[in-house]
């Protein structure tokens, strides 16, 4: 299920809900806090977030904490298009949430684990940039692209955290949920950094073909690309077939140079050399 190592040394709960939404407090009071106390894992009461200012302070608090391998659980409403909906009406757009998580993930050395009791939270995997950017998290457990009831997230995460804190094992926690409540699996998606990179990379040739300015600017910064594609006056139509056509027109060597740089930055190979062993991706894909 997860073919690489992971670690976490403190659980943070970020909460932005109304007074009538009591499941987040129950999850912490009845499961997370007593389990952490029993098994010696650091935690603290949920951080209540009212508006964007509070959100920014919460992220800074995590960044400044002495525990550098945080596990972040988010309890918040979500809007498919607008992002996280905070209690007083502010929104954290999905792309800005990704940027904030990326800051924490960089500090943790690619160890950030995120769980979300939030509608539409799979959108934290949409439009991930893997060029000139590190990954936003190591692992994320999200809802699907739909609304989800608080009763369901509570049922899921009460089992999940009880097992996770006891065993420090994600696979064991997910298998226990599957065993005790097989009906819950349909509502959640497990996302890992290798999956994110693969999906993001697969979309690059299509975006270039479709004229995405950011993608084109990135590729045009490579001398190898300028020599093979720009000076060859390749038309948009010649990029048919997306990936295969893209490789054909810019040549495999250039494609591999660009791939390798994206891989190194996304997995933070240079900053954290141990990640080369944790995530063994090939140097060449063509």
**Of residues 124, 117, 180, 114, the one with CA closest to residue 152:** 117
Q: For residue 229, what pLDDT band results from cuts at 50, 70 and 90?
A: low
Q: How far apart are CA 262 and CA 133, in angstroms?
A: 8
Q: For residue 245, what pLDDT band results from cuts at 50, 70 and 90?
A: low
Residue-wise pLDDT for 54-93, tens only, equals 999 999 999 999 999 999 999 999 999 999 999 999 999 9
Rounded to the nearest 10°, the torsion over CA 146, 84, 61, 190 is: 20
Q: How far apart are CA 47 and CA 69, in angstroms?
A: 18
Q: What is the mean pLDDT of the chain?
A: 88
Q: Residue 246 has what pLDDT? A: 63
Q: How far apart are CA 235 and CA 30, in angstroms?
A: 61
**Of residues 259, 263, 223, 215, the one with CA closest to residue 239:** 215
Q: For residue 30, what pLDDT band results from cuts at 50, 70 and 90?
A: very high
**Token representation of residue 17:** 């809900």
Q: Residue 255 has what pLDDT? A: 78
How far is CA 74 from its chain centroid? Answer: 13
Q: How far apart are CA 77 and CA 7, in angstroms?
A: 28
How far is CA 260 from its chain centroid? Answer: 21
Question: In terms of DSSP H, where are the helices of 145-267?
Answer: 150-167, 170-180, 193-209, 213-220, 223-225, 243-250, 252-266
**Of residues 281, 278, 286, the one with CA closest to residue 263:** 281
Residue-wise pLDDT for 133-166, tens only, equals 899 999 999 999 999 999 999 999 999 999 999 9
- Helix-strand-coil percent breakdown of the chain, rounded to 5? 50, 15, 35
Q: For residue 227, what pLDDT band results from cuts at 50, 70 and 90?
A: low
Residue-wise pLDDT for 109-127, tens only, equals 999 999 999 999 999 988 7
Distances (CA, A) of 25 to 44, 52, 71, 82, 107: 12, 21, 17, 25, 28
Q: How far apart are CA 228 and CA 245, in angstroms?
A: 13
Distances (CA, A) of 71 to 8, 80, 185, 253, 267: 6, 24, 21, 39, 19
Question: Does residue 51 have a pLDDT over 90?
Answer: yes
Question: Does residue 247 have a pLDDT over 70?
Answer: no
């Amino acid at each position: 299920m997860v073919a690489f190592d992971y670690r976490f040394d403190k659980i943070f709960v970020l909460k932005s809900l109304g007074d009538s939404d009591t499941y987040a407090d129950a999850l912490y009071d009845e499961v997370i806090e007593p389990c952490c106390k029993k098994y010696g894992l650091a935690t603290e009461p949920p951080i209540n977030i009212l508006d964007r200012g509070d959100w920014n302070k919460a992220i800074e608090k995590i960044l400044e904490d002495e525990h550098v391998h945080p596990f972040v659980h988010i309890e918040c409403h979500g809007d498919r298009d607008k992002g996280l909906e905070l209690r007083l009406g502010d929104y954290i757009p999905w792309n800005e949430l990704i940027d904030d998580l990326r800051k924490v993930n960089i500090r943790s050395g690619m160890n950030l684990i995120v769980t979300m009791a939030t509608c539409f939270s799979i959108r934290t995997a949409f439009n991930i940039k893997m060029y000139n950017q590190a990954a936003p998290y190591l692992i994320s457990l999200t809802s699907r692209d739909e609304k989800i009831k608080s009763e369901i997230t509570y049922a899921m995460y009460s089992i999940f955290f009880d097992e996770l804190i006891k065993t420090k094992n994600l696979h064991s926690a997910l298998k226990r949920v599957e065993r005790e409540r097989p009906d819950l699996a349909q509502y959640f998606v497990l996302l890992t950094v290798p999956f994110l990179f693969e999906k993001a990379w697969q979309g690059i040739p299509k975006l270039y073909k479709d004229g995405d300015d950011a993608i084109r600017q990135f590729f045009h910064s490579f001398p190898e690309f300028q020599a093979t594609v720009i000076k060859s006056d390749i038309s948009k139509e010649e990029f048919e077939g997306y990936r295969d056509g893209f490789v054909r027109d810019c040549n495999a060597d250039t494609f591999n140079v660009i791939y390798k740089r994206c891989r190194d930055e996304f997995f933070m190979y240079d900053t954290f050399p141990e990640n080369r062993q944790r995530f063994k991706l090939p140097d060449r894909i063509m």
